[in-house]
Amino acid sequence: MFVCPDCKERLENLFCNVCQHQFMQVDGIPQLLSKDPRYHKAGEIGSVYDDVYKSHSKVWEDQGRTPEFIAYFAGLAASLSTGDVLEIGCGEGFLLSSLRANQLAAIDLSSEALRKARALVQVTCCLGLAERLPFAGESFHLVLTVGVMEHFLNDREATREIHRVLKPLGHYLVLLHVHLSVWESFRQKIREYFYPRLRPVALAKWILKKLVRPISQPIQRRYTRQTAHACLEDCGFVVKEIIGTNTHSHAPLIGPQVLVFVARKP
């Protein structure tokens, strides 16, 4: 099902007849990164996350990726489509393993993440870049990203690629963290760990994670609600709904900095 990320020609045994490039496969995972020199940084980012996933498990749980959130987000995805689904930046595969879909596909910049994901769920996966998706146009009914949009090297190109691989009337479900001021961040930590309910065990885990092998992420840009909305609309999407704790109090989101955009391809 793969195409050349640059030429978009269907690959035969991972070979592109247009650009004459033979892509590699390592441990059964196709390495389908773009040859465009603008995206060479993707390899460096992948190495950062390889180290993260080798050193940690349940990496993002303290950032809100709890079992309750995964169940909620999977249910939200199922309400949009259970057809062909692509997750960009699948990480360890916890969300993938909870999705209902006719066919599951996933990409990540970390081979270590993809190895963990494959151990959890049957999925067609590859090392790949959102800005150069190795899939044919109109391949998916639904595309998901969770905490990934902030990491796109070129958010407009990545979002246009997502638009390209979606079928007409397909959906893009995206969770991102918007920028909070220092005071807003402080208030959020108070709410998470001290008030209205003291959570000493969760607080201790958070502090320990910050002190022992802390995770430093190569975030490319900070969004606001308005700039994220603009990116989606500039790339051809219609934003149907924005889910946050201020408007959807039942949603198990970690705080007001987390928003879920439900966007549709016309």
Over residues 160-166, the mean pLDDT reads 98
Asked if residue 197 belongs to a domain, the reply is no
Over residues 167-173, the mean pLDDT reads 98
Q: Is 169 exposed, middle or buried (0-12, 13-18, 19+ CB in 10 A)?
A: exposed
The pLDDT of residue 61 is 85
pLDDT exceeds cutoff 70 at 42? yes
Asked if residue 155 belongs to a domain, the reply is yes
Asked if residue 45 belongs to a domain, the reply is yes
Asked if residue 82 belongs to a domain, the reply is yes
Q: Give the DSSP letter of residue 59.
A: T
Q: Which domain holds residue 245?
A: 30-180+214-264
Over residues 1-30, the mean pLDDT reads 96
Local confidence band at 216 (pLDDT 50, 70, 90 cut-offs)? low
Portion of the chain with pLDDT greater than 90, in percent: 75
Question: Which residues fall within 8 angstroms of residue 21, CB to CB, at 6 or more apart?
Answer: 4, 15, 35
Q: Give CA–CA dist 221/219, Å, rounded.
A: 6
Q: Which of 95, 73, 78, 82 is nearest to 248 (CA)?
A: 73
pLDDT exceeds cutoff 60 at 184? no
pLDDT exceeds cutoff 60 at 13? yes
Inter-residue contact 109 to 46 (CB < 8 Å): yes
Asked if residue 258 belongs to a domain, the reply is yes
Asked if residue 188 belongs to a domain, the reply is no
Per-residue CA distances from 144 to 5, 29, 60, 87 (Å): 19, 20, 16, 5
Low-confidence winner among 23-37, 63-77, 144-158, 172-186 (lowest mean pLDDT): 172-186
Give me the amino acid identity at 126: C
Local confidence band at 199 (pLDDT 50, 70, 90 cut-offs)? confident
Per-residue CA distances from 67 to 96, 188, 224, 266 (Å): 12, 21, 26, 32
Q: Which of 9, 7, 14 is nearest to 127 (CA)?
A: 14
Asked if residue 105 belongs to a domain, the reply is yes
The pLDDT of residue 82 is 97
The pLDDT of residue 211 is 63
Local confidence band at 194 (pLDDT 50, 70, 90 cut-offs)? confident
Asked if residue 4 belongs to a domain, the reply is no
Phi, psi (deg, nearest 5) at residue 220: -90, -35
Mean pLDDT: which of 41-50, 89-98, 211-220 is highest?
Answer: 89-98
> Mean pLDDT of all residues in the chain?
91
The pLDDT of residue 212 is 61
Inter-residue contact 98 to 89 (CB < 8 Å): no
Phi, psi (deg, nearest 5) at residue 172: -115, 115
Q: Give CA–CA dist 109/42, Å, rounded.
A: 7
Low-confidence winner among 19-23, 164-168, 206-210, 245-249 (lowest mean pLDDT): 206-210
Omega before residue 37 within 30° of 0, cis: no
Kindly report the CATH number assigned to the domain that includes residue 139: 3.40.50.150
The pLDDT of residue 186 is 54
Q: Give CA–CA dist 232/155, Å, rounded.
A: 9
Q: How many domains does the chain have?
A: 1
